[in-house]
Structure 1
Amino acid sequence: MDCLISVDGSVTVSLLKSIFFIINVLFYLNYILKNNIKKMNTEPLNLVNGKIMTLNESFPIVESLTIKNGQYYSLNNPHPNFKTINLNGAFVIPGFIDAHFHIKNLGQRLDMVDLKGTKSAEEIENLIYNKSKTLKSGEWIEGFGWDQNLWNDKNFPSSELLNKTIQNNPVYLTRIDGHSAWINNVAAKVSNFDLSTNIEGGSIVNDCILIDNAMDPIRNSMPKPNKDSTKKWLLSGAQYAAERGITNVHDAWQSPEIIESIIELVQENNFPIKCYGMIGGSFKDFLVDFFAKGQYSGKQYKLRSVKAFIDGALGSRGAALHEPYHDDHCNCGLILISKEEFDELASLCYDNNFQLCTHAIGDRGNSFVLDTYQKYLKAQNDRRWRIEHAQMLTTNDIGRLKECSIIASMQPSHCTSDMKWMKSRIGEHRLHRISRWKTLLDNGIVIAGGSDCPIEEGNPLHEFYAAITRTDHDGFPKGGWQSQEKLSRIEALNLFTKGAAIAEFSENNRGMIEVGYEADLSILSNDIMTIESEKILKTDVIATIVNGNIVYGNKNF
């Protein structure tokens, strides 16, 4: 106990609280694992008169399926004594799996000032001013979704705008990529943060824009949500996903609080979808204790992976590049973690048989990750370590992904969201390195498809459309941007079914419609494999089924 005693002999209360919290979460995990999570009541069910795409080569298309005990019981053989639902020709696929999602952040950001699509800094200033009129002095104003690339001048805002308008409330506005934030002086003051401070792995622009690690001092000073708020946000995010046909999300950064809250929601029979969690790599004490307990695997919630961050994003020029940015010749982006620290985390994951999932966007960021991954991963291994985003890859590094059996976790809409400013950001000669989906698949590399919601909309139909067209929703550019990397429809669908299931070690019970597999389904109004591409965007989700339970149904179901 010596380490818990301060100079005057008193116990360090905050450290004790941290230890007790970790013990509580681990005890709860162990309890749930031993006693089985309470299951939803699932009645046997026939779904008939549909076009059901199984992704099973033996029975690629069937007209009916039967569900019992949360699993597929039979295909094309309805049971006469089970409840029957007529699909009326609806198109059915294995449930969409979103392999990169931020479920708590989504729920939380639904409560923030929505800045997506704003056309100028002045428009944002007005929105924040109006919000301030509803708050007491000193209350925080949070917003999300601004993107200076949509403004006429394309530049980061000056500090004067928010400082002159909002003088009584701290303001924290997260950029669309989640890798930078716009603050006012009040936020810096209440956080005791000196804006002239040099932050390793971060930078400060215009005395108000915090990039990557420079965001941490302000975030760490903001009021911490209680468990009720966390559970509310998680449930809101899960319901949002279910309404869009998503049956399972890979939650790409979970704190101990999120882990405890999801387990409680599942135990309360109040979590509609499945979740594959990634423990945040910065929670080192929790990780060490969790590793000692081993992987956690329930039917609705699995926890066997760790998330790390290497670089920032291209939109805020924090993604780490081998060569400087085309529009910022003195900047090659940021590496957010030392090689030694990343190697220590990789070693822990390897020794404890945990999957490591690492955010890397720029080509140098991806090379950095692969340098460490290659130290641990040999050819034909089954560790299934992942690179999250893998947005900008050299040909040499694609070879290294293949050699080490590394999974690329990618989000097609990132390509179509970023393409309009990509040439100015990295130059013509590097454009071919962006979102190399077809090249990766042709090299036998598994891609797990996701959305990075709430950075993007979290709509798998939009992701599917982006993967097969590489255009925006208006069909621009004609033929697709860097069209050599477009995917076929079956390749695109596999990203969000089979590929995502492989990325979570679940390909033997998820990602296909096959007898004995878990009954997770997305029921759609159109056959997205044959209709005109623009009609994909107008396709409705009729229903979402998870473990045989109807967790969402529209007015037609």
Structure 2
Amino acid sequence: MNFNLINGNIITLDQSNPIANSVTVKNDKILNIDNNNPKYHNIDLCGATIIPGFVDSHFHLTNLGKRLDMLNLKNCNSSQEIAKLVFEKSKTVNDNDWILGFGWDQTRWDENEFPKKTLLNDLNIMQPVMLTRIDGHSCWVNENAIKSSGLDSSIQIDGGDIVNGCILIDNAMNPIQESIPKSDDKMIQKWIKMAIKIIISRGITNIHDAWQTSDMIKNINFLIDKNEFPIRCYGMLASHDQQLISRYFNSGHYNSTYYTIRSVKAFIDGALGSRGAALFEPYSDDKHNCGLILISHDEFNELATNCKKAGFQLCTHAIGDKGNSMVIDTYSKTMKNISDHRWRIEHAQMVRDEDISKFYKNGIVPSMQPSHCTSDMRWMKDRLGEHRIHRISRWKSFIDSGCKIPGGSDCPIEEGNPLFEYYAAVTRKDHRGYPNTGWQPQECISRLDALKMLTSWGAYGEFAEHRRGKIKIGFDADFTVLSDNILTCDLDKILKTNILMTITNGKILKNIL
């Protein structure tokens, strides 16, 4: 379809032509700006704002759909409330079926502590139960799940921990996850399509999918072939699957209109919420715990070396200050004298002063999620102490040092709403406006930089800045149309802004103008 988008407030992010009134699309590309083609169909924006399409640079596509089919535990206020939900669910499923849930957060409960193993076991149900914490780095299980997996809860697990005999942290979760029956292709396709509907509704045109298995890749390609995958996806290969990454290392980068694979995802540590993020000093509320390292030094070095040889970007989850420092050291040694490699640290949530400058100096890209800051801020002082909370979510420090930050949400850990991420980045407040003055407000960033995080810097994070992330002649026709100008409107109107249109590859996927 060829068309002119007219009478708009077009924020191009192109320094040579920052503001425009109209843009012309021919097939899948931007043909003209402020030079309408009279032969093309006109779409009157009536003053609405157009920006380059939102990019969510850290997303979990299949998990979003999958977790819509699980027990939703996000709004539960106690472990007892969750146990009741599990008991009711047990009445509706077969004895051998797994009961799965997602989203619990003990910091939101009245008791504010991990649950005891008796709570689920005393339900006396037949089903194995696995309930994943909101951060995805720990789970709560019953005895049936432990027996089904063959897990020996008395042994030490490298990169993992077991608390109260029922809370499995990081690598301790692996035996449970491996014992859950594998999902078939139809189910995976269903989850992907469920997620795509939500993605389009939120104005997102492009996601960076931060852990792709062979089954996920197969089903994404199947849906693309059926014209049922209308968004762009930058896939990160799951590093635990040696066969998968070897196949891609041998064949090279994969590029198509909607799908790119040229990166690998790894994990160095866990999360702060479950005290698995690796710290230099112990947690303030757990004096004998400095977190977990999930991969050995030798394994990580070997992975980095293999990525370098194959020309693949390495994207490593690192949250704690020690975890980030370890990844920086490995990246800088492996990629010494190699310019513009854009190896990423996913989250980079807690970084020491002396490590900030090492990102830009060594060409390392911090890929960050603003709402992680505003979700975690309530308990951060208890977890880290007053002396360390300034190390959290240092967006402005990174930008001032020269870094570009691809921004995302880590959905379904967070909501996957770009406007929530934008608002958090400029205010350091959650989407309810708390706290009044913002949390650690010295790290607030400008509205323009926040917009770049969610558009042009996302394109940079996937080596696509020459064709996406700006509204510029010859670039891909990916746009998000907003009801208000989020660069200039009152702060409290940002979260009231509506997504009017989502346009990806020149195709109008959503239109409520």
Q: Decide whether aligned partners of structure 1 residues 440 and 93 sit closer, same or farther in structure 2, where only a CA change above 3 A counts.
A: same
Alignment of 1:268-347 (within 5 A): 268-347=226-305
Is residue 468–residue 492 contact of structure 1 (8 Å, CA) maintained in 2? yes
Is residue 30–residue 471 contact of structure 2 (8 Å, CA) maintained in 1? yes
- 2:37 aligned partner, one-letter code: H
Within the candidate set 36, 55, 58, 1:78 is matched to 36
- Structure 2 partner of 1:546: 504
Is residue 380–residue 403 contact of structure 1 (8 Å, CA) maintained in 2? no
- 2:10 aligned partner, one-letter code: I
Q: Does 1:240 align with 2:198?
A: yes
Q: Does 1:416 align with 2:368?
A: no
- Structure 2 partner of 1:189: 147
Structure 2 stretches of 5 or more lacking a match?
Answer: none
Within the candidate set 87, 108, 121, 1:129 is matched to 87
Alignment of 1:143-542 (within 5 A): 143-378=101-336, 381-542=339-500
- 2:471 aligned partner, one-letter code: I
Tell me the CA shift for residue 510 of structure 1.
Answer: 0.3
- Structure 2 partner of 1:92: 50
Find the aligned partners of 1:204 and 1:166 in 2 and give their Cα distance. Answer: 22
Q: Which range moves more in the overlay, 264-273 or 320-329?
A: 264-273
Tell me the CA shift for residue 424 of structure 1.
Answer: 0.1
Find the aligned partners of 1:168 and 1:445 in 2 and give their Cα distance. Answer: 52
Is residue 49–residue 484 contact of structure 2 (8 Å, CA) maintained in 1? yes
Q: Which range moves more in the overlay, 435-444 or 234-243?
A: 234-243
| 3-state SS of 1:447 partner | coil
Find the aligned partners of 1:552 and 1:314 in 2 and give their Cα distance. Answer: 37
Q: Which range moves more in the overlay, 436-445 or 81-90?
A: 81-90
Tell me the CA shift for residue 378 of structure 1.
Answer: 2.7
- Structure 1 partner of 2:8: 50
- Give deviations 1:78-136, integer Å, cap 9, x for gaps: 21111111112111100000000000000100111111121111111111112111111
Tell me the CA shift for residue 527 of structure 1.
Answer: 1.1
Within the candidate set 44, 50, 65, 1:107 is matched to 65
- 1:253 aligned partner, one-letter code: W
Tell me the CA shift for residue 391 of structure 1.
Answer: 0.2
Q: Which range moves more in the overlay, 472-481 or 296-305?
A: 472-481
Q: Decide whether aligned partners of structure 1 residues 185 and 380 sit closer, same or farther in structure 2, where only a CA change above 3 A counts.
A: same
- Give deviations 1:39-58, integer Å, cap 9, x for gaps: xxxx1011111111111112
Find the aligned partners of 2:124 and 2:29 in 1 and give their Cα distance. Answer: 55
Find the aligned partners of 1:237 and 1:404 in 2 and give their Cα distance. Answer: 35
Tell me the CA shift for residue 164 of structure 1.
Answer: 1.1
- 1:371 aligned partner, one-letter code: D
Tell me the CA shift for residue 456 of structure 1.
Answer: 0.2
| 3-state SS of 1:214 partner | helix
Find the aligned partners of 2:140 and 2:503 in 1 and give their Cα distance. Answer: 40
Q: Which range moves more in the overlay, 140-149 or 58-67?
A: 58-67
| 3-state SS of 2:406 partner | strand
Tell me the CA shift for residue 379 of structure 1.
Answer: 5.5
- 1:169 aligned partner, one-letter code: Q
| 3-state SS of 1:429 partner | coil
Tell me the CA shift for residue 303 of structure 1.
Answer: 0.2
Tell me the CA shift for residue 380 of structure 1.
Answer: 6.8
| 3-state SS of 2:249 partner | helix
Structure 1 stretches of 5 or more lacking a match?
Answer: 1-42
Find the aligned partners of 1:128 and 1:51 in 2 and give their Cα distance. Answer: 50
- Give deviations 1:287-330, integer Å, cap 9, x for gaps: 11221111111121000000000000000000000000000000
| 3-state SS of 2:317 partner | strand
Tell me the CA shift for residue 153 of structure 1.
Answer: 2.0
- 1:73 aligned partner, one-letter code: L
Find the aligned partners of 1:401 and 1:57 in 2 and give their Cα distance. Answer: 25
- When the two structures are superposed, what TM-score results if normalisation uses the length of structure 1? 0.91
| 3-state SS of 1:542 partner | strand
Find the aligned partners of 1:522 and 1:514 in 2 and give their Cα distance. Answer: 14
Tell me the CA shift for residue 166 of structure 1.
Answer: 4.7
Tell me the CA shift for residue 270 of structure 1.
Answer: 0.5
- Give deviations 1:527-557, integer Å, cap 9, x for gaps: 111111121111111110001101122xx33
Matched length: 513
- 1:277 aligned partner, one-letter code: G
Find the aligned partners of 1:156 and 1:199 in 2 and give their Cα distance. Answer: 19
- Give deviations 1:419-445, integer Å, cap 9, x for gaps: 010000000000110000000000001
Find the aligned partners of 2:421 and 2:309 in 1 and give their Cα distance. Answer: 35
Find the aligned partners of 1:504 and 1:193 in 2 and give their Cα distance. Answer: 39
- 2:143 aligned partner, one-letter code: N
Find the aligned partners of 1:535 and 1:216 in 2 and give their Cα distance. Answer: 43
Tell me the CA shift for residue 182 of structure 1.
Answer: 0.4
- 1:289 aligned partner, one-letter code: R
Find the aligned partners of 1:190 and 1:287 in 2 and give their Cα distance. Answer: 30
Find the aligned partners of 1:520 and 1:166 in 2 and give their Cα distance. Answer: 53
| 3-state SS of 2:210 partner | strand
- 2:103 aligned partner, one-letter code: G
- 1:297 aligned partner, one-letter code: N
- 2:351 aligned partner, one-letter code: L
Find the aligned partners of 1:495 and 1:447 in 2 and give their Cα distance. Answer: 6
Is residue 87–residue 125 contact of structure 2 (8 Å, CA) maintained in 1? no
Is residue 239–residue 272 contact of structure 1 (8 Å, CA) maintained in 2? no
Is residue 379–residue 405 contact of structure 1 (8 Å, CA) maintained in 2? no
Find the aligned partners of 1:524 and 1:129 in 2 and give their Cα distance. Answer: 44
Find the aligned partners of 1:142 and 1:392 in 2 and give their Cα distance. Answer: 31
Is residue 90–residue 125 contact of structure 2 (8 Å, CA) maintained in 1? no
- Runs of 4+ off more than 4 Å: none
